[in-house]
Amino acid sequence: MRVNTVIMIVLAGVFGVVAVVLANIWLASQRSAMAKGDNVQRDTVVVAAVALKFGDTLTSDKLREIAWPAGAVPAGAFRTTKEALAGDGTKQALQTIGINEPVLATRITGPGQRATLSAVLGEGMKAVSIRVNDVLGVAGFVFPGDRVDVLLTRTVRGDGGLDKSFVDVLLQSMKVLAVDQVADESKESPTVVKSVTLEASTRDAQKLTLAAGAGQLSLALRQAAASEGETTERVTLSDLTGDTPADVAAKQAELARQAAAEAEAAAERKRAEDKIAGLTQAVEKVGSRLDELGKVKPAVAPAPEMREVVKEVVKYVQPEPPARATVSVYRGVKFETYDVPRQK
């Protein structure tokens, strides 16, 4: 047998023995950890046996008790199903609760209380609704439980009589309680809504109510983990183009002058069109009258009766009508006269 083969066999045996020793050491440490874990004091916590949605009624078949480390019981958790369902009347879920997730007192209503919007309000907070559309409402991607910033767009009259538009961040990190009339946080499909209800303090509720009539409110969706406020500043038209306020005022004044000049020109055109229309109607009336006169034949007086007189005879002779006649005609706004032969 070759020497290299013998060396490889010896090394394989050594490595095998080392692996067996290390495995036994690891298994022994795991058994020791499990033995220590068995000595930890245990308690029970009520969890959801099935997935619960906003408004679902709590019953004993939807809840169950599981073992839980005694020192790590969540605040507001129930230790028994009887304790969770205690009280006169049923209880309902205020938030989505997943399977095996602890049922906390803050996530369910009181006994006999309905799962309404007032039940999810924090202490001292108010619910205020603002009107939005498909654009101002972030295209329907705002859901109950999200955090949004409220922006206010206004246009005010400046000292020089010019309108100035600007946008301010009115409120930051406002919690969305409901969209339209839906307060279920498990809603996942985006829909275009007409109103959004926010949780606000009394002062913030006053601001929202006043701002709704002072300008246009819009929403900016915040990152789920971003709950702290940030420093903001007003954005004006000059920030969009880089112009100074004086440049913006000059452009607005020029636009106002152009609009006034266009309005004056339009009014002048209207007056000219009205005058031409009046002249056209007058010419049409004259032409119609001339046509009527041309159709009427001149009346010829009958010859006078000849009577015999003793002393003298008086004979009336019809004068010969003139051979030509003068006719005046309006052509457009021009007055023309024609000398035409008279018809017999």
Give yes or no for a contact between 21 and 61, defined as CB atoms under 8 angstroms apart: no
How many angstroms separate the CA atoms of 172 and 183, rounded?
Answer: 21
Average pLDDT in the 70-94 region?
84
How many angstroms separate the CA atoms of 62 and 31, rounded?
Answer: 36
State pLDDT tens for residues 264-319.
Answer: 898 888 888 888 888 888 888 887 877 777 776 666 656 666 666 556 555 666 66
Average pLDDT in the 188-217 region?
83
CA angle 26–32–36, rounded 5-degree value: 145
Would you state the pLDDT for residue 317? 61
How many angstroms separate the CA atoms of 145 and 108, rounded?
Answer: 16
The band of 142, judged by pLDDT with boundaries at 50, 70 and 90, is confident
Residue 65's beta-bridge partner residues? 46
Average pLDDT in the 142-146 region?
82
Give yes or no for a contact between 148 and 214, defined as CB atoms under 8 angstroms apart: no
Average pLDDT in the 236-264 region?
77
Average pLDDT in the 89-115 region?
80
Residue 94 pLDDT exceeds 70 = yes
Q: What is the pTM of this model?
A: 0.46
State pLDDT tens for residues 176-202.
Answer: 888 876 665 555 666 666 788 888 999
How many angstroms separate the CA atoms of 30 and 156, rounded?
Answer: 73
Would you state the pLDDT for residue 179? 82
Of 104, 110, 107, 105, nearest in space to 90 by CA: 110
Would you state the pLDDT for residue 277? 86
Q: What is the mean pLDDT of the chain?
A: 78
**36's tokens:** 């220590």
Q: Which domains does the chain have, with CATH numbers?
A: 42-115 (3.90.1210.10), 123-240 (no CATH)
The band of 206, judged by pLDDT with boundaries at 50, 70 and 90, is very high
Would you state the pLDDT for residue 188? 60
Residue 326 pLDDT exceeds 60 = yes
State pLDDT tens for residues 23-49.
Answer: 888 888 877 766 555 555 678 888 999
Q: Give the percent of the chain with pLDDT over 70.
A: 75
How many CB atoms are closer than 10 A to CB 248? 19
How many angstroms separate the CA atoms of 326 and 336, rounded?
Answer: 11
Would you state the pLDDT for residue 129? 87
